[in-house]
């Protein structure tokens, strides 16, 4: 998951990584590390620390800072919860609309899926197992179809692993439990723990 936010030069710190800037209506994409901050310019070292390549950006620009994984999950937590619960709804084949190859919105990570569904203005309706399964390029059995509704009310669906339908809710509930306990949820490590636990009980 990746996302950035805009800040002014006053919010920058020396050594901080930035991933671009916006001056007027012009967007400049680059990776840089803040070296000096003045009311006139911000000096950055491009690409990586120690590269020796510097640039000066006018301080009236807006600077793009990458959000942390935790910040992204917090931002989309409410929508992720709605998606994790909505996707559990079992649908009949005649309720899911037409098959769609485009699946950029689909993810077993509920926070990432919330991020993508907001970007593409999609609403998750549920899943259906009354579809013809297929195997992914990596060999995974995709034995469910996840249905979303577009802004105009049209429904489409894409292949998905039925196991991931249940996993999405488990992942969301596990993070919520961790937050209540004051613990941090690590998306890769903790999601793998949930998978291991599920496999031990089957």
Residues 86 and 183 both lie in one domain? yes
Query: Which pLDDT belongs to residue 202?
Result: 60
CA separation for the pair 58, 174 (Å, rounded):
44
Q: What percent of the chain has pLDDT over 70?
A: 99
Residue-wise pLDDT tens digits, 48-95: 999 999 999 999 999 999 999 999 999 999 999 999 999 999 999 999
Residues 62 and 120 both lie in one domain? no
Residues 119 and 56 both lie in one domain? no
Residues 93 and 131 both lie in one domain? yes
Residues 182 and 99 both lie in one domain? yes
CA separation for the pair 155, 98 (Å, rounded):
7
Range of the domain at 35: 4-67
CA-CA-CA-CA torsion sign (7, 8, 13, 17): positive
User: Under a CB-based contact definition with an 8 Å cutoff, are residues 91 and 127 in contact?
Assistant: yes
Residue-wise pLDDT tens digits, 129-149: 999 999 999 999 999 999 999
Residues 59 and 124 both lie in one domain? no
Residues 75 and 26 both lie in one domain? no
Confidence of residue 170 (pLDDT cuts 50, 70, 90): very high
Spatial CB neighbours of 182, under 8 Å, sequence gap ≥ 6: none
Residues 172 and 98 both lie in one domain? yes
Residues 62 and 100 both lie in one domain? no
Mean pLDDT for the chain?
Answer: 94
Domain end position, chosen among 67, 87, 120: 67
Instruction: Kindly report the pTM of this predicted structure.
Output: 0.84
- Number of alpha helices (DSSP H) and beta strands (DSSP E) in the chain: 5, 14
Confidence of residue 156 (pLDDT cuts 50, 70, 90): very high
Residues 9 and 98 both lie in one domain? no
Choose among 173, 186, 144: nearest CA to 161: 144
Residues 84 and 184 both lie in one domain? yes
DSSP 8-state assignment for residue 172:
H
Residues 53 and 77 both lie in one domain? no
Count of structural domains within the chain: 2
């Amino acid at each position: 998951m990746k996302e950035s936010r805009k800040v002014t030069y006053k919010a920058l710190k020396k050594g901080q990584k930035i991933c671009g800037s916006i001056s007027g209506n012009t967007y400049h994409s680059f990776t840089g590390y803040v070296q000096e901050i003045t009311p006139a310019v911000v000096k950055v070292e491009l690409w990586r620390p120690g590269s020796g390549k510097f640039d000066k950006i006018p301080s009236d620009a807006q600077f793009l800072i990458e959000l942390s994984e935790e910040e992204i999950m917090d931002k989309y937590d409410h929508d992720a919860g709605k998606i994790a619960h909505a996707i559990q709804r079992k649908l009949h084949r005649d309720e899911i609309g037409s098959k769609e190859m485009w699946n950029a919105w689909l993810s077993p990570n509920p926070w990432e899926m919330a991020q993508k569904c907001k970007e593409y203005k999609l609403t998750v309706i549920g899943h259906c197992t009354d579809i013809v399964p297929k195997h992914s390029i990596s060999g995974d059995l995709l034995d469910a179809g996840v249905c979303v509704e577009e802004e105009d009310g049209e429904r489409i669906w894409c292949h998905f692993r039925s196991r991931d339908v249940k996993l999405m809710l488990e992942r969301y509930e596990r993070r919520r439990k961790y937050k209540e306990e004051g613990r941090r949820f690590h998306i890769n490590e903790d999601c793998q723990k949930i998978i291991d636990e599920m496999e031990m009980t089957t």
